C-alpha cells in the first residue's frame, strides 16, 4: 500500500494511492497515518477495496506521510562514497543524531532558508517508518518492526552543523528542513530496500545519483543497532544517510539559494519537489 496524508497544514486526513492513481479517503478506517494507526489499523486497511473508498481531489496538498512523529533519528556518513567526498573515514559504527520533528513538512512544501544561514545543502535519503515497538531487537527480526519506507530530504545547514560546536542536530533541525513523503510505502511493496535507485536534482541538474546498495549499514542493521540505545515506537522515522553529490562535497562547494527548486526521489517510493525561499 501507498499511504499518504492530504489537506492543509495541521488538518491532514489519511488517504491511500489507489491502483488507478487516484487518492482515496481513509477517514472511515483511521483517524490519521500516525503512531496509533500504524500500530493498529493497517490490517483493516489492507482488507478494503481501495476503489470503494471516496475519491479525494487530486489537487489537494500532500502533507507529511506520517503525522505526530515521535522521533526523527538520522544516520550520518552511511554511504562510503559520501564519506569519501567529505574527506571523512567510513564509520565503524553508525553515527546517530536527532532531527527536530518541528522540521517536518510535506514533500512539496517550500523549504525556507533560516536567518543567519550561509551554507544550506540538500540530502536525499531513504526513510524507515517504524510500525511496531523495537527495543533490543535482533537484526534477523528487524523487518518485523518496520511499517514501510518513504523519501526524506535531510535538508542541512553546514555552517550550523560544523561551525557551532560540531552539533549536527543544530544544522539539521530548522523549520522546513524535513520533507517526508509523498507516500509511506508499506514494506511488502519494497522487497529489497538495499537495491533502490536514489537521486536528487537542483534546478534540473542531477546532483545525487546513487543506490542503496552502497549503504554501509543496512536497514535491518540500523533498526537493530538503534534499538539498543533507545526504544523505537510506531511512527518514528529513521533517515538512513545520503549518497554522494551534496553541495558540501563540490569543489568549490555549492549551496542552495532562494529561488531554486529541488526535485528528488527513490525507486518505487515517489518523488518530492521543493521550492527554496528566503
Q: What is the pLDDT of residue 170?
A: 95
Classified as helix, coil or strand, 201 is strand
Clarify whether residues 37 and 166 are in a common domain. no
Is residue 78 included in any domain, yes or no?
yes
Classified as helix, coil or strand, 224 is helix
* 214-238 residue pLDDT tens: 999 999 999 999 999 999 999 999 9
268: domain CATH number is: 3.90.850.10
**Which residues is 3 bridged to in the sheet?**
16, 184
pLDDT tens over the chain, length 278 residues: 999 999 999 999 999 999 999 999 999 999 999 999 998 888 889 999 999 999 999 999 999 999 999 999 999 999 987 777 777 788 899 999 999 999 999 999 999 999 999 999 999 999 999 999 999 999 999 999 999 999 999 999 999 998 988 789 999 999 999 999 999 999 999 999 999 999 999 999 999 999 999 999 999 999 999 999 999 999 999 999 999 999 999 999 999 999 999 999 999 999 999 999 99
Would you say 152 and 184 are in contact if contact means Cβ atoms under 8 Å apart?
A: no
**Which residues is 97 bridged to in the sheet?**
74
- pTM for the model: 0.96
Clarify whether residues 41 and 164 are in a common domain. no
Number of domains in the chain: 2
Full residue range of the structural domain in which residue 46 is found: 2-56
Is residue 67 included in any domain, yes or no?
no
Query: Residue 23 CA to chain centroid, in angstroms?
Result: 21
Q: Tell me how far CA of residue 136 lies from CA of 39, 83, 140, 246, 276, in angstroms.
A: 18, 28, 12, 33, 40
Clarify whether residues 12 and 146 are in a common domain. no
Amino acid at each position: 500500500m501507498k499511504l499518504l496524508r492530504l489537506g492543509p497544514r495541521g488538518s491532514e486526513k489519511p488517504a491511500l494511492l489507489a491502483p488507478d492513481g487516484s487518492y482515496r479517503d481513509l477517514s472511515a478506517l483511521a483517524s490519521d497515518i500516525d503512531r496509533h494507526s500504524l500500530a493498529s489499523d493497517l490490517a483493516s486497511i489492507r482488507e478494503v477495496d481501495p476503489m470503494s473508498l471516496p475519491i479525494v481531489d487530486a489537487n489537494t496538498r500532500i502533507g507529511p506521510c506520517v503525522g505526530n512523529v515521535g522521533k526523527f533519528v538520522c544516520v550520518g556518513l552511511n554511504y562510503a562514497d559520501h564519506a569519501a567526498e567529505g574527506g571523512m573515514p567510513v564509520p565503524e559504527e553508525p553515527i546517530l543524531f536527532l532531527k527536530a520533528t518541528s522540521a517536518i513538512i510535506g514533500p512539496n512544501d517550500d523549504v525556507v532558508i533560516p536567518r543567519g544561514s550561509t551554507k544550506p545543502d540538500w540530502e536525499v535519503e531513504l526513510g524507515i517508518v517504524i510500525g511496531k515497538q523495537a527495543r533490543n531487537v535482533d537484526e534477523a527480526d528487524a523487518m518485523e518492526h518496520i511499517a514501510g519506507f518513504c523519501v526524506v530530504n535531510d535538508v542541512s545547514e553546514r555552517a550550523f552543523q560544523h561551525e557551532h560546536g560540531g552539533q549536527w542536530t543544530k544544522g539539521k533541525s530548522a523549520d522546513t528542513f524535513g520533507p517526508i513523503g509523498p507516500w509511506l510505502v508499506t514494506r511488502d511493496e519494497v522487497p529489497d530496500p538495499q537495491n533502490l535507485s536514489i537521486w536528487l536534482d537542483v534546478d534540473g541538474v542531477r546532483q545525487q545519483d546513487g543506490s542503496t546498495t552502497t549503504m554501509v549499514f543496512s536497514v535491518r542493521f540500523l533498526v537493530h543497532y538503534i534499538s539498543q540505545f533507545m526504544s523505537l515506537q510506531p511512527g518514528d522515522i529513521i533517515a538512513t544517510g545520503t549518497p554522494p553529490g551534496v553541495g558540501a562535497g563540490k569543489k568549490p562547494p555549492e549551496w542552495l539559494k532562494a529561488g531554486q527548486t529541488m526535485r528528488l526521489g527513490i525507486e518505487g517510493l515517489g518523488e518530492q519537489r521543493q521550492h527554496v525561499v528566503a
